[in-house]
Structure 1
Amino acid sequence: MTIRILILTPGFPTNQDKKSYGGEFLLAEAEAYAQAGAHVRVLTPHAPGLPLHEKFPNGVEIVRFRYFFPTSQQKVRDSQPIYSRSNLLWKLLQLPFFALSFLFSIGREMRHADIVHANWTPTALLALPWQRFFKIPVVLTYRGSDLRLLPKWLNRFIIKRCAAILDVWGDTGWAIENREVYPGRYIRLPLISRTPANGRLDNQGGLWPHSEKHFVFVGRLVSGTTIENLKGAKILIPAASRLHKIHDFILDIVGDGPDREFLEKQRKEYNASEFVTIHGHRHNVFPYFQNAFAVISNVGLSAVVQEAARCKKPLIMPNEASHNGKVWNHKKNAILYQPCSADALAEAMCFVLENPEESKKIAAAGYKTIKKYVKTPKEAGKEYLNAFEKIISIHR
């Protein structure tokens, strides 16, 4: 029997243009299910200019629901995350219509599914009434921003009532803590990561001469919350400027967001234009990883960490035990530095430049570590479908 999976997400990529609508990493999960033989539909908000229905070459179907008219004025879902402050007044005005439209769209689509995979706790909350009505299980993958966005009591309510929680965050500190804080039916599964083979290529190969040493940072350029500050976007250029006085290298910043203007000003203030490039958002970051000397990443098992480690590059990341947990250890499988310190980041970058052979060994250990927690779509698809079949049989 072919399992029919409905994926719920507030953002999902498109083949139509080069803008980011979030959820690029969810495409790998959808592909994994489809490759393993499932029928996969994704329900996600509509954004101006995008088709209401779209089908990827791998068979994954996308259904986008409208929530405001005229559709050209829909503001809740655009190229910025839903929780960003862009178009804030419009978002607040449209949010009730958005939630109601999402709720009823879930009901319409859920009738034709065997199981629902909700990403982020707010989408699971909207699916729970239909789980009770249709007797179709809702499984949840929490992502982090949702646990920070909603009150703890509400997240606990949602997690307790889902048919299962896909426990994909391994031995990271916050995952260990969350299993105690949010009781639920947890099922241990690997993360599913994009690979160069299944990523959407932008023909960016051969970016730089291989003789140049490039540090690469990939991520949203935003600060404010603790986790956003941990990513270290604002200390990149000060750290690079200090280190560039004694070493030659290039710093490539790949990403976009509210802090981009701040970083552009920093680059001028530090006279860093010759060795710092801000590339903006890229759909496919693998060419940057593959050509990098080392990758300056965030913490835990984030998408950047997964993809950079799979490319066997040394990871330079904040030493934050509450996120790294038992996964990352200094100079064993990653180079850790004191969070939010430009001096500490410069010192970590200097270590990689001055110890290339040891850094290669650390990168190899990092690759071995990531293989323990993360699998490709081809490797993980059957494992997920087997888990879904068990959940469906129990829920009937």
Structure 2
Amino acid sequence: MRVCMLTTSFPRRRDDFAGAFVYSLARELGKRGVEVSVVAPHDGRAARYETRSRVHICRFVYAWPQRWQRLAYGEGIPNNLRQHPWVALQIPGFLAMFLKTAWQVCADCDIVHVHWAPLAWLGLALKWRYRVPVVLTVHGSDVRSLPPFLIRPAMERVDAVVAAAPETEALLQELGVAHHAIPLPIDEETLQPGMAPGAVGDELGLRPGDDVVTFVGRLNEFKDPLTLIRAAPLALARRPQTRFVIVGDGPLADELRAAVDGLGLERAVHLAGARRDVGCFLALSKLFVALSPVENAWSMTIAEAMHMRVPCIITRAGRTEQLFTHLEDSFLIPPGDERALAEAIVRLLSGKEERDRLARGALDLLQRYGKDTASILQRTLSLYQAVLVPALKIDSTL
């Protein structure tokens, strides 16, 4: 089976965080005998063509000189357009070169698998040209922020729509779009429970006995890392050996640095930036925090932390409480409440037995929801087989 994936974000280097979840899916499919090609934007520095872990990658150039390419990567396409309106001038070239490259790469494929709802229109052009089925995976930000008239007609015309998270499922239900619930796989190559943290501890200046609390994610209002900064002094007053590590980058990065400096937290809070070695940070951690005021339901970073046996503190936002149970698989707190967060941090750092119980409950939760890689790949391959045989009824429970 030959699958061509179209995505607006894909790792440009081995240590790149952008689109890592798409790479994990492509790599795991490759291990199971699927020939995967990926078409993604170039950024002016990455290799145009490369093969990585059996995945063939083709990056298209859409602006010249290449260093002027600013639509993709960075803060993500929507944020790039908001922050730099002139980037909209690159959209026609972006779409034209995306389609031209996909037209060539997908010529011999059996299935086109599109990531990000607007790209479904390109997938449909390839479906018309090559008579191949199109699978669309939506990731949340596309159906959450884009007008329905732009994406719903395309979603209704592809062969299958996949929701990667419960929040996305609910949004698709509101749009009246039939879909299948299949999460993206955890990168089990770089996230191995019990793994050594390598040199990360020394890099951050951590000392034996430090209790590490970790945040991983985009530094934006949707993820709310600032609440962790505000909670840090409250927790440090009672647990001075606590260290806070924030892994990620985004539009709030400068504001976070200013807050750390303003509160005199330089020794206790470490801003690690965007990293690909998230597993090393989780291996150091006694707690993980997910603080979105909007939605946490099966955030990839929560699944990764639970897989690594790190107890999670999660805000009661969106559909969070429909998945996670307070004191059974996680510790739930109100969003935007630094005092509640500090109290939870102090309580859990003071109680190893409770941390261990939450970690065990989280593993049970992952298994119940089929978040292990083997289950995810089996469901993905079953869906591929189903769309290849139009007469075969596709089970919506996939």
Scaled by the length of structure 2, the TM-score of the pair is: 0.88
Please list the CA deviations of residues 80-108 of structure 1 after superposition, one character each: whole Å capped at 9, or x if unmatched. Answer: 32222376134111112112221232222
SS at match of 1:27: helix
SS at match of 1:214: strand
Q: Is the 8 A contact 2:27 2:55 kept in 1?
A: yes
Deviation of 1:265 after TM superposition, in Å, equals: 1.2
The equivalent residue for 1:76 is: 71
Deviation of 1:202 after TM superposition, in Å, equals: 9.7
Deviation of 1:304 after TM superposition, in Å, equals: 0.7
Identity of aligned residues (%): 26
Deviation of 1:179 after TM superposition, in Å, equals: 4.3
2:101 equivalent among 102, 105, 108? 105
Q: Is the 8 A contact 2:140 2:168 kept in 1?
A: no
Change beyond 3 A, Cα 1:203–1:61: farther
Change beyond 3 A, Cα 1:143–1:392: same
Query: Structure 2: 5+ residue runs without aligned partners?
Result: 393-398
Deviation of 1:293 after TM superposition, in Å, equals: 0.8
Larger displacement relative to structure 2 (379-388 or 116-125)? 379-388
Q: Is the 8 A contact 1:314 1:334 kept in 2?
A: yes
SS at match of 1:261: helix
Please list the CA deviations of residues 167-225 of structure 1 after superposition, one character each: whole Å capped at 9, or x if unmatched. Answer: 342xx3x24523421333423434311124479x99545554552211011112122xx
Larger displacement relative to structure 2 (209-218 or 140-149)? 209-218
Deviation of 1:351 after TM superposition, in Å, equals: 2.3
CA distance in 1, matches of 2:144, 2:331: 27
The equivalent residue for 1:189 is: 182
State how many pairs are aligned. 380
Larger displacement relative to structure 2 (182-191 or 149-158)? 182-191
- 1:258 paired with 2:243, answer no
Q: Is the 8 A contact 1:28 1:377 kept in 2?
A: no
Residue type of the alignment partner of 2:301: V
SS at match of 2:80: coil
The equivalent residue for 1:348 is: 344
Deviation of 1:53 after TM superposition, in Å, equals: 0.5
The equivalent residue for 1:218 is: 216
Please list the CA deviations of residues 252-291 of structure 1 after superposition, one character each: whole Å capped at 9, or x if unmatched. Answer: 1111222111111111211111211111111111111111
Deviation of 1:13 after TM superposition, in Å, equals: 0.7
Please list the CA deviations of residues 326-346 of structure 1 after superposition, one character each: whole Å capped at 9, or x if unmatched. Answer: 211111111111111212221
Deviation of 1:375 after TM superposition, in Å, equals: 4.1
Change beyond 3 A, Cα 1:293–1:128: same
Q: Is the 8 A contact 1:43 1:65 kept in 2?
A: yes
Q: Is the 8 A contact 1:136 1:395 kept in 2?
A: no
- 1:59 paired with 2:54, answer yes
Please list the CA deviations of residues 98-119 of structure 1 after superposition, one character each: whole Å capped at 9, or x if unmatched. Answer: 1222123222222221101111
Q: Is the 8 A contact 2:136 2:161 kept in 1?
A: yes
CA distance in 2, matches of 1:77, 1:167: 22
Change beyond 3 A, Cα 1:341–1:206: closer
Q: Is the 8 A contact 1:135 1:395 kept in 2?
A: no
Change beyond 3 A, Cα 1:255–1:198: closer
Residue type of the alignment partner of 2:304: E
Scaled by the length of structure 1, the TM-score of the pair is: 0.89
Q: List aligned pairs for 1:1-396, cutoff 5 A.
A: 3-15=1-13, 18=15, 20=17, 22-56=18-52, 58-85=53-80, 88-169=84-165, 172=166, 174-197=167-190, 204=199, 207=202, 208-209=206-207, 211-223=209-221, 228=222, 231-248=223-240, 249-298=242-291, 299-320=296-317, 322-377=318-373, 380-394=376-390
Residue type of the alignment partner of 1:7: M
Larger displacement relative to structure 2 (74-83 or 232-241)? 74-83
Q: Is the 8 A contact 1:289 1:313 kept in 2?
A: yes
CA distance in 2, matches of 1:261, 1:197: 29
Deviation of 1:154 after TM superposition, in Å, equals: 2.6
CA distance in 2, matches of 1:348, 1:234: 16
SS at match of 2:251: coil
Q: Which has the higher contact order (CA 8 A, sep 6+)?
A: 1
Please list the CA deviations of residues 213-261 of structure 1 after superposition, one character each: whole Å capped at 9, or x if unmatched. Answer: 11011112122xxxx1xx2211111101112111121111111222111
SS at match of 2:77: coil
SS at match of 1:191: coil
CA distance in 1, matches of 2:370, 2:247: 23
Q: Is the 8 A contact 2:288 2:312 kept in 1?
A: yes
CA distance in 2, matches of 1:209, 1:69: 48
CA distance in 2, matches of 1:53, 1:202: 32
Q: CA RMSD in A?
A: 2.4
Residue type of the alignment partner of 1:194: D
Please list the CA deviations of residues 13-47 of structure 1 after superposition, one character each: whole Å capped at 9, or x if unmatched. Answer: 1336x555x10111110011101101000000111
Change beyond 3 A, Cα 1:395–1:192: farther
Q: Is the 8 A contact 2:163 2:169 kept in 1?
A: no
Deviation of 1:305 after TM superposition, in Å, equals: 0.7
SS at match of 1:246: coil
Query: Structure 1: 5+ residue runs without aligned partners?
Result: none
Residue type of the alignment partner of 1:309: M
Residue type of the alignment partner of 2:308: C
SS at match of 1:274: coil
